[in-house]
Structure 1
């Protein structure tokens, strides 16, 4: 069984929490994989109320699990604001209810959105920080920006309007904006993927890819897809993860790859051992993976040195019989 060497897009070192800057709405760091664009600093326009402190911690770089978006508990505003304002991703701010764009391309009321988000649960992840409301009249459903896509909601970049899955049928009223860029029809609205780069929609079936929550969040169409490491950078040797559909340059991975692999490839974030449950981000970049990145190095070693019946290690003079399937 051929081994597959782990090639990751990040270094193994993690900075201290003090060096981490995270969005005050989605709680993801700047280099997130969910398409929120850059972190921007917004000033305060109102006096901040005082909330009780919490033990909730900000994420470390690379912590892009959908389950870690937002805040699990009531947050102390002092952890979200500095002396002059707060840091929020561009799209997290633009899509938030009550935020308005000024003539100079600036945004106002972002701080008010952050304050309101501390009291609102996301309909998808059930965590605080949700500020994007469903556009349907009378609907009080709110989402974080990454969770909106993960939930299968329809998003209109032209109108900065969201329709939750329950009201997604209203997207047809937007005409061509709800059409797939491949088949030029609305078709199955629940199958549409929203490109966070250009705002166009594509049926997953038309592209012959999946439409899982991790694929939907931060998805980029073939024309907009950039390397998640150097974004954007040199447009060559792009490797696309078979699980999340995110792109990486072979030379941006650590360790770098000399060429594009012929077999399906998974990025480090999407590798999970089906036997012990360990995730790729926990292991060093040099770790090896087997069975299409489904078995970690330690479990593979266990497979080849320990009897599957008695659970004992084989004597050096005894050859274990290996199953050709598992």
Structure 2
């Protein structure tokens, strides 16, 4: 029977009130999109006179790319709480106009935050975008997670990106645009950017996909860490078949004793194709079927309903169970 019991759940921490979120991408610190640590910048003297905001910021986004950034322009007083703003390291470093100084000090982060409140991301069409395409004359801006999700080329050495329309200009960078496996630029649109080391890999060379959720926060095999404990013991690592993120078996809730032999999906990537319920909203004891495509409730409905007439089973008539979908 094709059944996977979800006793391999991530130790998720849901955003709560007063949780700090990035003033650019609106994600919390333990984001899956590779923005690195959440840093506070300031105090900025020009924002000391701001009165506390009566309009709180929207609920932080995190795992869903559709929740990156802001749907409406956020209030500056809410972003600069006590004249301090919180921004992920990579969101700040890659922003247009921000300067990286000695000891990793950054200048003009406040200016980037202000400009982001009025600038739409080319990929998600939400506000907070501050990373511009490096091609001359191009006016496209992105959030850091969206730049990867869009398939843009990212250069960690030079801290700039090339949008999909201008990605061919990456060939001018020589070896920096080469795949770490095949040592060639090859198909530039197939390159994945590692948020850990900055190297590029062809998805085809690693025999994995290149979907937006895989690209955002992607880590190469050498840099991949558990998304629950981050850098830690490098053993018993499970890799999600959908998003390619890694999790220790012992960091899951409840923990797993061994690595499963079948393809595995993290809770964030489990979506029932019949009712649309997502894995994160179900209890840890829930079961999944058909490669995590059918939830326990829908599977039970399948088992008690005729697949032809859709009527409940008659006690006097036995239903025949399909060996594939059950």
TM-score bin (small chain): over 0.9
1:238 aligns with 2:237: yes
Residue 294 of structure 2 corresponds to 295
Whole-Å Cα distance in 2 between the matches of residues 93 and 14 of structure 1?
Answer: 24
Q: Deviations over 1:246-286 (max 9, x none)?
A: 00000101111110011000000000101111111111122
Which residue does the alignment assign to 1:273?
Answer: 272
Measured against aligned partners, the alpha-carbon deviations of 1:214-256 in whole angstroms (never above 9, x if no partner) come to: 0000000000000000001111001100000000000101111
Contact 2:275 2:298 in 1 (8 A): yes
Q: Distance in 1 between matches of 2:250 and 2:113?
A: 38
1:313 Cα deviation from its structure 2 partner:
2.4
**Cα shift readout 1:135-188 (whole Å, capped 9, x = no counterpart):** 011111000000000000000000001000011011011111000000100010
- The alignment status of 1:26 with 2:25, answered yes or no, reads yes
User: Structure 2: which 5+ residue stretches go unaligned?
Assistant: none
Provide the rounded CA distance (Å) in 2 between the counterparts of 1:66 and 1:111: 24
SS in 1 for 2:86: strand
Contact 1:154 1:168 in 2 (8 A): yes
- Aligned partners of 2:17 and 2:306: how far apart in 1? 43
Who is 2:250 aligned against? 251
| Inter-partner Cα distance in structure 2 for 1:294 and 1:271 | 7
> Contact 2:227–2:247 (CA<8 Å) still a contact in 1?
yes
Give the Cα–Cα distance (whole angstroms) in 2 for the partners of residues 117 and 51 of structure 1: 20
Contact 1:46–1:112 (8 Å) recurs in 2: no
Deviation at 1:51, TM superposition (A): 12
In structure 2, the residue matched to 1:16 is 16
3-state secondary structure, aligned to 2:104: coil
Distance 2:167 2:239 in 1: 29
Question: Structure 1 length normalisation: TM-score?
Answer: 0.94
Asked if 2 retains the 8 angstrom alpha-carbon contact of 1:56 and 1:72, the reply is: no
Specify the alignment match of 2:68 in structure 1. 69
Kindly indicate whether residue 122 of structure 2 is the aligned counterpart of residue 123 of structure 1: yes
Does residue 137 (structure 1) correspond to residue 148 (structure 2)? The answer is no
Map Cα deviations across residues 106-161 of structure 1 (whole Å, 9 max, x no partner): 11111110110000000000000000000011111000000000000000000001
SS at match of 1:47: helix
Task: Report the CA distance shift for 1:282/1:227 in structure 2 as closer, same or farther (over 3 A).
Answer: same
Compared with structure 1, are the counterparts of its residues 142 and 152 closer, same or farther at alpha carbon in structure 2 (3 Å cutoff)?
same
Q: Deviations over 1:193-212 (max 9, x none)?
A: 00000000000000010000
Matches within 5 A, 1:1-326: 1-6=1-6, 7-11=8-12, 14=14, 16-18=16-18, 20-45=19-44, 47-48=46-47, 57-59=58-60, 63-326=62-325
| Aligned mates of 2:15, 2:22 — CA distance in 1 | 17
Distance 1:10 1:252 in 2: 7
User: In structure 1, the residue corresponding to 2:2 is in which secondary structure?
Assistant: coil
- Following superposition, the deviation at residue 46 of structure 1 comes to 5.6
RMSD across aligned positions (CA): 1.9
Partners of 2:203 and 2:271 in 1: CA distance? 24
Verify the 8 A CA contact 1:51 1:75 in the aligned structure 2: no
TM-score by length of 2: 0.94
Give the secondary-structure state (helix, strand or coil) at the position aligned to 1:123. Answer: coil
Q: How many residues align?
A: 322
